[in-house]
């Protein structure tokens, strides 16, 4: 079981807060003398965390293992943070974080179909990594699409991460900096994920 956090409807700050409260209640029950059965092995825990992270971002095993390899090679002691920033910087994830798509899967399709530009150039690669100073926008020819009808109403309540800025009138966003860990809507145990791949 990888948990419900991999589902788009569960990837919100409100859901995460409610989940924390539920976890606290369960912990309180255990403190009262309850026993936990069926505990996972170390490998089982690592595998679960790996699958949860991969399904959250909706990428293939090969893509994810390449992300982990890059984190090990370039992140040093901060490999987990490097991995998280790399995943958050994916163009499909950024489109999702901005609220322009209802899920990462929808954002990935939006990018693949050529609806998104970076610095005025159409980008159709969901794994493209955005960088400081870049401008992400909905392509002019796509703005009349049903995908973007009532976009203002659909983005109400969406908390845009601090490292991004969004102009809904122009359907444009700017990358203001690097992803900030505190902006994550869900919690992923990436050090455990790295340990999983280190077993190989």
90-178 has the same fold as 4-29+39-87+188-198: no
- Render pLDDT for 54-87 as a digit per residue (tens, 0 to 9): 999 999 999 999 999 999 999 999 999 999 999 9
**Domains of the chain, residue spans:** 4-29+39-87+188-198, 90-178
Please name the residue ranges forming H helices in 3-133: 13-31, 42-57, 61-75, 79-88, 91-97, 104-112
pTM of structure = 0.79
CATH topology of domain 90-178: 3.10.290
Say what the pLDDT of residue 4 is: 53
Two structure tokens written together for 100: 């322009």
Write down the CATH number for the domain with range 4-29+39-87+188-198: 1.10.1050.10
Contacts of 84 (CB under 8 A, 6+ apart): 179, 181, 184, 188, 190
Residue 130's nearest CA partner among 71, 174, 70, 183 is: 174
Per residue in 45-55, pLDDT (tens digit) is 999 999 999 99
Q: Encode pLDDT of 109-155 as tens digits.
A: 999 999 999 999 999 999 999 999 999 999 999 999 888 888 888 88
Q: Cα–Cα distances in Å, from 22 out to 11, 16, 45?
A: 16, 10, 20
What's the rounded Cα separation, in Å, for the pair 162 and 180?
Answer: 7
What is the pLDDT at residue 11?
A: 53
């Amino acid at each position: 079981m990888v948990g419900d956090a991999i589902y788009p409807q569960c990837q919100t700050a409100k859901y995460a807060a409610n989940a924390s409260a539920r976890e606290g209640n369960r912990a309180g029950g255990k403190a009262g003398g309850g026993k936990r059965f069926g505990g996972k092995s170390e490998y089982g825990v690592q595998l679960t965390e790996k699958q949860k992270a991969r399904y959250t971002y909706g990428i293939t095993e090969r893509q994810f293992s390449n992300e982990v390899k890059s984190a090990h090679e370039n992140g040093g002691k901060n490999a987990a943070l490097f991995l998280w920033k790399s995943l958050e910087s994916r163009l499909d994830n950024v489109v999702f974080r901005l609220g322009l798509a209802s899920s990462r899967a929808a954002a990935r399709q939006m990018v693949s179909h050529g609806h998104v530009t970076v610095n005025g150039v159409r980008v159709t690669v969901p794994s493209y990594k955005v960088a400081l100073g870049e401008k992400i926008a909905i392509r002019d020819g796509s703005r009349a699409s049903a995908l973007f009808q009532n976009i203002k109403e659909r983005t109400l309540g969406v908390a845009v991460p601090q490292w991004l800025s969004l102009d809904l009138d122009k359907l444009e966003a700017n990358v203001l900096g690097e992803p900030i860990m505190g902006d994550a809507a869900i919690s992923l145990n990436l050090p455990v994920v790295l340990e999983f791949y280190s077993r190989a």
